[in-house]
Amino acid sequence: MWIAYNHLDSLTYLIQQDGTNIILWHDRGVKPVWSPNGEWIIFSDYGQIWKKGIDGNCLTQLTLEEGNNSSPRWSHDGKKISYRRRISNNIDEMWILDLDNNTEYKRYSGFSFNNYVWIDNENILLESTCYVENTTGSKFSLLNIETQAFYTIANIPKMFGSHSFDYSNINFKILFTSYTLDAETNCSSCDIWIMNEDCSYQSKLIELAHSAAWSPDGTQIAYTSAQWENGYLWIMDLADGSKRQLTFENHYCTLQTEKYNTTEKLLIVK
């Protein structure tokens, strides 16, 4: 199993589940997302959405309109790609690209959201910042892309997640990063939380971590440690709660210096 991730903000790497065979897959791109069949990765770069094969071939620009396009996601059947189009500082539009006929169409606008995830092939769950009980919190809303019905599911005080948001259609649960502020120290921290798809039963899963993502079989979680001394990629086994570190600083010493003259070698996936 391969894991795709960003290093130094925009360098996209692939690494195997056991921490071996690390590869510089693309020298730009933000928030890589796997296709359901595992053959493609989409990402945002220069305000547009791109697609590229995991073998390093067939780089394709998917969005052609002007504007800042980001946060791409695949539908579960792999037939559609959604993404955020920002049209002003406070207004986002949700766009859908139908890959069968290469048709781009807008489904909803006039709202702002931090992150979102497909629940099934027709419904998208969005998270946005709200104020609950006189404090900052999260509002979770459901958008149906066919009917454009949009309604709030839950408001959760004192927690909000804007860095990662991932859904497992195996476990029917959502991972998200919650940033909390200590009123006494005025210091913030980020932790990984888990909840049901209807936003019930929120519980803290991993402290001082962010950017969580499910493995395809729902048995493991890849995430980034938020601790200053080891802010690298980790993996957690849900069966026993064990954690192990996948990436270390020495992984990048050679790759960083050679990325411009040996890129083709680094893109080979075996």
The two three-digit tokens of residue 230, written as one number: 């080891």
Same fold, 1-112+247-270 and 113-239: yes
Domain ranges of the chain: 1-112+247-270, 113-239
| pLDDT given at position 192 | 93
| pLDDT given at position 117 | 94
Report how far residue 98's alpha carbon sits from residue 77's, in angstroms, rounded to the nearest whole number. Answer: 11
Q: What does CATH list as the number for 1-112+247-270?
A: 2.120.10.30
Inter-residue contact 144 to 121 (CB < 8 Å): no
115-118 and 103-111 as β-strands: parallel, antiparallel, unpaired? unpaired
> How many CA atoms does the CB half-sphere of 166 hold within 13 Å?
25
Q: What does CATH list as the number for 113-239?
A: 2.120.10.30
Q: What's the predicted TM-score (pTM) here?
A: 0.84
Report how far residue 51's alpha carbon sits from residue 29's, in angstroms, rounded to the nearest whole number. Answer: 10
pLDDT tens-place values along the chain, 270 residues long: 899 988 876 789 899 888 888 888 998 888 899 999 999 999 999 899 999 999 989 999 999 877 789 999 999 999 999 999 887 666 778 899 999 888 888 778 777 788 899 999 999 999 988 887 777 788 899 999 988 888 999 988 877 666 688 999 999 999 998 877 666 666 667 899 999 999 999 899 999 898 899 999 999 999 998 876 566 899 999 999 999 998 887 665 544 433 332 222 222 222
Inter-residue contact 14 to 27 (CB < 8 Å): no
Report how far residue 238's alpha carbon sits from residue 47's, in angstroms, rounded to the nearest whole number. Answer: 36
